[in-house]
């Protein structure tokens, strides 16, 4: 057994030792500690990234850093830590209420017994993907009922357009205009409505809109603009969820297999 590897593994649990011993060995199969240069760490990591996810690779680099430090190779240890910090963990997948997805296209029917203001508010959330704060801040001057679109102010006071259908436009036309705001209620009130009528929360409705849009073939870049995401990466996390939904629908129609 290599004494340096055993020293690096000292104090770890048996399961961790089993996990990291082959990691150390894989690096030493590439190059010896005496001949290793910082570029070898990046070469090792570039090969490794096809076998493990980013989070695991970060952990393995930090463990390699420990090995190098014990071996007296501080230059390699610093390089391993620096590379680990460069690797961004993927954002967590949004939690999408699958019951809401299944009934998404029936939401008009589900809300048929709601009060006009409740129905209009939730339909706007469902059809536009707006944040609840954007909804309650919406003013009549920003709503184009004929064009079926609205200008909203998102995070960082960035303006963007969202779009809705004729059914929501008609709900908005029927609302009484009491002041400048389309929905003169608090975001807490809207959250209560969504909880009561859909058994979920407004951000889940936003997630459901995103997955629905992509599952119908919508362009991720268009969705990015609609949702007001500053980065396409944030929007793309919905793609796997949308693809999963499409596949499940196919299996259901095709009879499994």
Q: How far, in Å, are 130, 137, 149, 178, 179 from residue 184 at the CA level?
A: 16, 8, 19, 8, 8
Active site amino acids: 131, 155, 203, 206, 229, 238
- At 41 the pLDDT is 92
Mean pLDDT of each 10-residue bin along the chain, 257 residues long: 82 87 91 92 84 84 92 93 81 54 69 93 93 94 96 77 94 94 96 90 85 84 86 72 64 61
Give 172's DSSP letter: H
User: What's the pLDDT at 162?
Assistant: 95
User: What is the phi-psi region of residue 223: left when phi exceeds 0, alpha when psi lies from -120 to 50, beta otherwise?
Assistant: alpha
3-state secondary structure of 139: strand
138 φ, ψ (degrees, to nearest 5):
-65, 135
């Amino acid at each position: 057994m290599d004494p340096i590897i055993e020293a690096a593994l000292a104090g770890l649990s048996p399961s961790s030792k089993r996990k990291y011993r082959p990691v150390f060995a894989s690096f030493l199969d590439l190059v010896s500690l005496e001949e290793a240069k910082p570029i070898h760490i990046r070469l090792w990591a570039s090969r490794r990234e096809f076998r493990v996810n980013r989070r695991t690779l970060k952990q393995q680099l930090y463990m390699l850093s420990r090995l190098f430090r014990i071996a007296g190779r501080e230059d390699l240890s610093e390089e391993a830590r620096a590379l680990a910090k460069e690797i961004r963990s993927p954002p967590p997948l949004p939690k999408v209420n699958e019951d809401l997805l299944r009934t998404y296209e029936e939401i008009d029917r589900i809300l048929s017994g709601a009060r006009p203001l409740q129905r209009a508010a939730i339909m706007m959330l469902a059809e536009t993907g707006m944040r609840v704060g954007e909804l309650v801040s919406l003013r009549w001057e920003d709503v184009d009922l004929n064009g079926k679109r609205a200008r909203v102010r998102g995070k960082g006071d960035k303006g963007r357009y969202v779009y809705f259908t004729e059914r929501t436009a008609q709900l908005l036309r029927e609302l009484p205009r009491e002041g400048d705001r389309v929905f003169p209620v608090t975001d807490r009130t809207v959250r209560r409505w969504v909880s009561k009528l859909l058994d979920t929360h407004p951000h889940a409705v936003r997630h459901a809109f995103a997955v629905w849009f992509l599952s119908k073939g919508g362009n991720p870049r268009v969705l990015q603009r609609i949702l007001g995401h500053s980065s396409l990466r944030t929007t793309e996390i919905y793609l796997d969820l949308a693809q999963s939904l499409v596949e499940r629908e196919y299996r259901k129609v095709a009879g499994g297999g």
